[in-house]
Amino acid sequence: MPATSFTALPFASEKVVRFGGRRAFLQRLLAASAVMPALPSLVSAQPPEIVNPRATDGDDKVQPKWDHMLTLTVGNSNADLNGSSDRVLQAAVDSVARRGGGTVQLLPGTWVLRNSLFLSSRVRLTGSGADTILTRPASVSSVLSADSDWYDQEITLADSSGFQVGDGVVLRAVNPHNGAATVIKRTLTARSGNRFLLSDGLRENLWLSGKPTCDSLYPLITSEYSSDVLIENLVLDGNRAETGHLDGNYGGCIFLQDCSRFTIRRVEARNNNGDGISFQICHDVTVQDCHSHDNADLGVHPGSGSQRPVLRGNRLERNSQGLFWCWGVKFGLAEENVIDGNRLYGVSIGHNDTDNLMRNNTIRNSGQFGVLFRHEDRGLDFWPNRNVLEGNTIENSGGDDGVAIEVLGKVRDLKFVGNRIIEQRGPARRTGIRIAAEAGSVHLADNQITGMHTAIEDQRPPEKRG
């Protein structure tokens, strides 16, 4: 039977193609496409704008802006709930959260917390400014006097004086299997003599061979696995002089873990024996117009894996380090902050912290470096690549051999543009920008460097300087 001849349509099926031959079909398809008008794009560059959203079950990201929400006031007196401990604050938060969210309004007053205030999703915690103070008593400590296994939910203390049911505690020991540090945060929920029931199982071995201890240490405000929370207009005082140390991987005046969409604004975080504000694996956290000062460790600590933090308009003063980008913090913005008088570094950025922008900050009187790009030789490419310093003022960094911007390791694709680097105390042996020999590309443009012994010390070979 002779082959049937016909004109193939551009969208002919494979079954039709066989009658005219595959090559003939492709030729006709190309010819037809040449004369057909271009089809409009079916995918826009941006998703449609959300206008007048409705409350939809299960959608916890986009909500209408309600004019009035459930509000509970808490005060030392004359409020919906009255008291001066963490228990009344927690009762208010839990009550609002159980009803789907709302505001806990703290009136002027002082609350002494023996445990953290645990925040839940869709809760607004708002104070009355400098007259709303959350603080803590002196911490107590004891060694454990009996072994506890990983499946246990109790501990025995050698000295239980000073501990109460309801206290927040941190249990620390040396792991008996590998020598690593064991750190467990729990609440004491019941007792018989020196034996205490814990709020959850240990899941780690606390054997006497690891020298386990129990300390009444905890963040003042904390949250885990929650979202859409506001903390504003209050003072958090960590009572540094009378408390033990708890580092920013576990504590702070504020400590968040695995949270999203938090806003912390107009909060004073001070005098903590640890960090001021720390958040770990938390995304879309905004810290704005806060004052974090006189803490033993870090002023603001965007912790491991945190994506898209925004740090704006804060004052970070007299901490060990002002702003510490931890591990894997990406696509963050730090702008218009004043970072002053921190004992080591104004800003430190390192392990896999990439694609962050630091602009229009004032960084001054840092103890060693104004800005440090840390040496991160832990793997193939854990360097803080593709970060930008733009429009910052960096003044009086370090001692006689201080450096305003120290670039270490194999970091690459940095941009330093339009910064003012100033030394007002005399040049001594001071350096404006120092770039390590193994560093990759560092783009320098329009930076003003004055008062230094050495403006730029570029240790890279000439062919790498660009």
Q: What is the per-residue pLDDT across 58-103, written as a single tens digit (0 to 9) for each?
A: 887 787 777 777 999 999 999 999 999 999 999 999 999 999 999 9
Whether 206 shows a pLDDT value over 80: the answer reads: yes
pLDDT (average), residues 96-114:
97
pLDDT (average), residues 248-273:
98
- Band of residue 12 on the pLDDT scale cut at 50, 70, 90: very low
367 versus 32: the higher-pLDDT residue is: 367
177 versus 350: the higher-pLDDT residue is: 350
Distance, in Å, from the CA atom of 306 to the CA atom of 228, rounded to the nearest integer, reads 16
Distance, in Å, from the CA atom of 337 to the CA atom of 362, rounded to the nearest integer, reads 6
Distance, in Å, from the CA atom of 172 to the CA atom of 182, rounded to the nearest integer, reads 5
The CA R_g of the chain, rounded to the nearest whole Å, is 29
Give kind and range of the element (H or E) at residue 25.
helix 22-35
329 versus 26: the higher-pLDDT residue is: 329
Q: Are strands 195-198 and 154-156 parallel, antiparallel or unpaired?
A: antiparallel
Q: What is the per-residue pLDDT across 21-36, written as a single tens digit (0 to 9) for each?
A: 656 555 665 555 554 4
Whether 454 shows a pLDDT value over 60: the answer reads: yes
What pLDDT is recorded for position 10?
Answer: 37
Give kind and range of the element (H or E) at residue 196.
strand 195-198
Distance, in Å, from the CA atom of 106 to the CA atom of 184, rounded to the nearest integer, reads 30
Which span out of 37-41, 62-66, 419-423 was modeled with the highest average pLDDT? 419-423
What is the topology classification, in CATH, of domain 71-137+217-465?
A: Pectate Lyase C-like (2.160.20)
What pLDDT is recorded for position 2?
Answer: 43
SS3 content of the chain, % helix, strand, coil (to 5): 10, 40, 50
What pLDDT is recorded for position 23?
Answer: 60
363 versus 47: the higher-pLDDT residue is: 363
What pLDDT is recorded for position 57?
Answer: 81
**Cβ(109)–Cβ(75) under 8 Å?**
yes
What pLDDT is recorded for position 16?
Answer: 41
CB-CB neighbours of 459 under 10 Å? 13
Give kind and range of the element (H or E) at residue 15.
helix 14-20
- Band of residue 18 on the pLDDT scale cut at 50, 70, 90: very low
Q: 141-215: what CATH class?
A: mainly beta
Cite the beta strand spans of 271-368 per DSSP E. Answer: 277-280, 286-288, 291-293, 298-302, 310-312, 315-317, 321-324, 333-335, 338-340, 345-349, 357-359, 362-364
**Domain regions of the chain by residue span:** 1-34, 71-137+217-465, 141-215
Distance, in Å, from the CA atom of 224 to the CA atom of 280, rounded to the nearest integer, reads 10
Q: What is the per-residue pLDDT across 171-201, written as a single tens digit (0 to 9) for each?
A: 999 998 888 999 999 999 999 999 999 999 9
Distance, in Å, from the CA atom of 190 to the CA atom of 166, rounded to the nearest integer, reads 8
What pLDDT is recorded for position 25?
Answer: 54
| Longest Cα–Cα distance in the chain | 103
Joined together, the tokens standing for residue 137 give 């008593």
pLDDT (average), residues 410-420:
97
Joined together, the tokens standing for residue 444 give 């320098």
Whether 55 shows a pLDDT value over 70: the answer reads: yes
pLDDT (average), residues 254-260:
98
* Lowest mean pLDDT, pick from 5-14, 195-204, 210-219: 5-14
**Cβ(235)–Cβ(133) under 8 Å?**
yes
pLDDT (average), residues 144-158:
97
User: What residues contact 303, with CB distance under 8 A and at least 6 apart?
Assistant: 248, 249, 278, 279, 280, 281, 282, 326, 327, 329
Could you give phi then psi for residue 46, rounded to 5 degrees? -125, 150
Whether 334 shows a pLDDT value over 90: the answer reads: yes
- Band of residue 394 on the pLDDT scale cut at 50, 70, 90: very high
